Amino acid sequence: MDNPKCKKCGIELKAGVNWYKAYENNHTYSCRECENKKKAQWCKNNPEKVRAANKRRWESIKSNPERLEREKERYRELWKNNINVREGSKNAYYKREYKISLEEVESIWKEQEGKCVLCGKELGKGTGKFAVDHNHITEEVRGILCTPCNLKVATVESWYYNNRERIDQYIKRKVEILE
């Protein structure tokens, strides 16, 4: 028997390569790519069902310690071995926290030549030993700092915003005395 063709895109299907063998039994004859697109569209159209299924799956995993450990190990391996998962996760983090993409962070990194803006220390890319410095009020990204400098800036910034009125009053009094 000749290899079947995907009923959607027409490519020749090879079991285990681009076609799930299980599909042969129900004669769907779809390639992985078309099946994944179909599944993604279904998930997009049925978010409540997806959330409910994920919740049921997670509850089932949590109730079985052995299965929970297997899942953790599977995700550790996936994270360790798949650069796309790590990069996608980082990109989602930067988008969520700082409203910028991973590409923008890398652009800032190159602009700063991989060094902390304040102290000039070499930053360890890939070690997570750096921080994206941003204004907590405007959410504007200012640069990439080493962790110690970022903590100092955050401390000074929060101290200043919490005491701004007192600082302004103090400066006005000193200026009035000098005049």
The full set of domains in the chain, from first to last, is: 1-45 (no CATH), 84-178 (3.40.1800.10)
Give the model confidence (pLDDT) of 37-85 as tens digits.
Answer: 888 999 999 999 999 999 999 899 889 999 999 988 888 887 777 766 6
Identity of the amino acid at 156: V
H/E segment holding residue 109? helix 102-111
What DSSP character marks residue 10?
-
Mean pLDDT of the 141-170 span:
86
Q: How far is Cα of residue 178 from the mean position of the Cα atoms in its chain?
A: 53
The mean of the pLDDT values for the chain is: 82
Distance, in Å, from the CA atom of 86 to the CA atom of 128, rounded to the nearest integer, reads 12
C-beta neighbour count of 63 within 10 angstroms = 9
23 has pLDDT over 60:
no
